[in-house]
Amino acid sequence: MVAATYAPQALVALVVLWNAWSLRATTDAVSYLDDASVHEQMVRFASQAIRNGTAPSLSWFPYLNLGSPHFLHYQGLGATIAGAVGLLSGPDAAFRWSLYLMIVLWPLVVYRSARVFRLPPMAAASSAAIAPYLMSAIGVGYEQKAYLWIGYGLWAQLCASCLLPLAWAWTWRAVMERKYVFRAVLLVSLTAALHFETGYLAVAAALVFPLVTRTDLRTRLVNGGVILGGSLVGTAWVTVPLLAQSRWAALNTALSTTGLVRGYGARRDLLWLVNGSTFDHGRLPVVTIAVAFGIVMTIVNWRRIPVARGLLLLFVLSLLVSFGPTTWGALVVVIPGHADIFFRRFLMGVQLAGILLAGFGIYLGGSRLASLALRSADRLAADAGQRRLFAGFAAFSTVLIAALVVFPGWNQLRTYDAQNAAQIGFQRRAETAAEQQLDPLLSYVKAKGDGRLYAGLPTNWGSSFTIGYVPVFKYAESMDVDEVGYTLRTASLMSQPETTFDDTNLGDYELFGVRYVLLPPSVHPQAWMRRVASSGPYRLFVVPLAHYMESVQIDGTVALGRSDVGPRTVGLLRSNLLAMHLDLQVAWDGAPVGGVRPVGSGTVGHLSRIDTDLVRGRASALVSSPTGTTVLLAASFDPGWKVTVDGRPSPTVELAPAVVGVTVGPGTHAVVFHYQGFTGAVPWFVVSALGVLMIGLWCRRRHGVDRNGSTLSAGDAGAP
C-alpha cells in the first residue's frame, strides 16, 4: 500500500535524476553554437544594466545588427531575471544553470500541472515520465533538441515552457472556481511576457476551457473573461510598448516566405502527426501511440471527464493554428501580431496537450488492465498464495512491457545527450587551445571601442572560420565584442541589410562602422586594410577610414518600410555611393523622419574628437563643414535616439538603409547622440501591476465553488 502511494512520486524522481546526470555537461562554460549565445549575451547585458541602475527594457542593446532596443522588441523578462540573479553568481553561470535546471525539472513541472488539473497521481506521473522523450521533425517544440548546445538554444521559449503547463492547469481550475482566477492571470501574464508565441497558447486556454461543458456556463464564461481581460492588462507593460514601437521593428524578410514563419501547412503537419514525427521522430512511435490512446479514451469518456475534453480541444486548436498562412492564407489576420509570429511554434501546444492526454490514457488503460488481471486471478487461482503469485507475475509483466515501450525513446535521448556532452567537451578543448591566440586580439578591439569587428558572415567564409564547432563571429559575441556578421538575431532595422553586407566594398565598412577585420589565412585582405596584429592563424586588420561616426552628403530620398528595408537597399550597399560618402534620406512608411535637408546640398565635413560608448547609448564628435553636412551614426534607426547640436536638441534623420543621423549647418559644431528608451513603458508597468492586484482583491472577496465535477476520480477512470 505504501509502495503504491509513493510510486508516482518515485517515478518522477527517477526521471528527474536521470535527466540531472545525463545533462550535466550543460553547465560547462563554453561559447554557444546556437541561439543560446544571444540569450546568454542578453543575460550579461541585463546584469550590467541593473548594476548601472538602468532598466534593460529602456536601454540600447548595442552588440548585434547595429544595435536595437532589443529588450523592448523581444521577450526579455527571462534575461532580466537571470541577469538579476547573475549579480550574485555571475551572469554566465546564471544562464547555464538556469538552462540546466529548467530542462532537468521539466518532468516535475508536468507532474505538478497534471495534479492541478486533478488527474490522478499515476496519470500525472505517466505524463511526466513521457515528457523528456519528445523528438519532433521540426525540433523546436517541448524537446531537448530545442534547447541543448547541439540544438537550437531556444532559451526564452524554455522559460515560458516551465510556466505554460501551470498556466493551463490553473486556468482550468479558475474557470471552475473563481478563487483561482488571480493565480491563472498571473501565470498566463508571466508566460506571455517570457515568450510571445507561448503566450498565445496560454491565452488560448481561457478561450477554450469555459466551453468544455454546459453546466453553469454563465459563471465559467465570466471567469474565463476575467482571466482573458486580466491577462491582457497583466501583459500591457510588454505588449503596449511593443505595439507602439512595432513600425521600427523589421520583419524577417529572409524567412517570411518560408515554413519557419508561415507554418508548414495542414498536409505536412497532419502527416507528421500520423507517422509519429510530431512526438517520435527517428524512432518507433511509442509516445504517438500513447497520445492516440489518450485521445481515444477521451472520446470514449467524453461525457464523464471534462478535463480530458478541454485538453483535447487545446490539442486540436493548437494543431489548426500551427498550419499558419500556408493553409489559412489571409484568414490569419484575426490573430493579433500575425505578421511577426513563427506559426510552426504552435506545434508546442499539440505536444503539451498530447503528453497530458497520453498520461490520462495510460492511467485509464492501466487501471482497466489491472482490474481485469485481478478478476482473472480471482477466477483462476485456487488460494491466496496463487493469487499473490499471479498478481506478482502481472506486476512484473507490466513493468517489463513498460520498460520495452520506453526503451526506444530512452535510448535515442541517451545517445543524443551523449553526443551533446561529447561536442561540448570538444568545444571546450578547442577554446582552451585558441584562447591565448585569439582572445588578446578580441580584447584589443573591445578596448579600442572605436568601431565594429567583422569576421565573416554565415553565408560566406565566416561559416568555416571556426574555433571547434563555433564560428569566430559567435565566439567574439561571447566576449561582447560589437560586430557585424552574426545576422538576423534581432528586430533591428539594420538586421536585414546586414545580410547583404559586401566585404569587398569600402563604403559598406564605413556605413556599418566596421573598423576591424579578423581574417583566416585563406582570405586575402583588401588593399585599404592595414594589418595591426597576428597571432597563430588569426590576423587582425584595421580599416583606417571607418568609424562609428562619419560625415555624409544626402544625395536623394528612398521610400522604405519595415517589410522591405533589406531588399530595397541591396543596390545601395553594392554601389560606390557610400564609399564616396553619399547616402539617401529615408521616407519611412511614406513620410520623411525628422529634419529634411534639400537633396544634394551640403558637403562632406570633417569629424574630430569622436567618442562612442554605445553600451551606454552615447556617441559624440566635433564636425566642421563650410556649407553644412549630415553626421551619420552607425546605429540602427530608432525614435529613441535623440541628438543635440551645440547643446540644443535637433531632429534626427533616417539615412539608408536605416541608420540614424543629424543635419548641421556651416561651421564647427558639437554633436551628441544619446539613446532614450521608450519611457511610455513605465506607466504601463504600473497599470499592469495595479490591474493584476485588483483582480487578486476581487478574487478574495468573491470566489465560487467547484460545481461541475472536474476531478478525475478513480470511479471516473474505471478503476476498481
**SS3 call for 414:** helix
pLDDT at 679: 81
Q: Tell me, what amino acid is at 701?
A: R
Beta strands in 342-499 (DSSP E): 452-454, 466-467, 470-471, 483-484
CB 113 within 8 A of CB 166: yes
Alpha-carbon gap, residue 175 to 173, rounded angstroms: 6
Phi and psi, residue 554, nearest 5°? -75, 125
Write the CA distances from 128 to 119, 581, 611, integer angstroms.
12, 61, 55
First to last CA, the chain: 15
**SS3 call for 259:** helix
Residue 60 exposure: Cα atoms within 13 Å on the Cβ side: 24
Over residues 614-663, the pLDDT tens digits come to 999 999 999 999 999 999 999 999 999 999 999 999 999 999 999 999 99
Q: How many CB atoms lie within 10 A of CB 243?
A: 12
Cα–Cα–Cα angle for 145, 148, 154, rounded to 5 degrees: 80
Phi and psi, residue 487, nearest 5°? -85, 160
pLDDT at 407: 80
| Strand pairing category for 530-535 and 549-560 | unpaired
E strand or H helix at 553: strand 549-560
CB under 8 Å to 370, separation ≥6 — which residues?
A: 394, 398, 719, 720
User: Omega into 657 within 30° of 0, i.e. cis?
Assistant: yes
Q: How many CB atoms lie within 10 A of CB 42?
A: 29
Q: What is the pTM of this model?
A: 0.93
| Strand pairing category for 582-588 and 549-560 | parallel
**SS3 call for 7:** helix
Nearest residue to 351 (alpha-carbon basis) of 377, 310, 373, 318: 318
pLDDT at 599: 42
Phi and psi, residue 3, nearest 5°? -60, -40
Cα–Cα–Cα angle for 419, 425, 426, rounded to 5 degrees: 90
Q: How many CB atoms lie within 10 A of CB 133?
A: 22
* Radius of gyration, alpha carbons of the chain: 29
Helix 106-116 / helix 121-130 crossing angle, nearest 10 deg: 150
Domain ranges within the chain, ordered by starting residue: 433-492+514-542, 549-665
pLDDT at 440: 96
pLDDT at 6: 85
Nearest residue to 545 (alpha-carbon basis) of 565, 567, 530: 530
**Averaged pLDDT score across all residues of the chain:** 90
Instruction: Give me the residues of the chain with pLDDT under 70, please.
Output: 1-4, 369-405, 592-602, 702-720
Which grid coordinates are listed for 420? 551533446
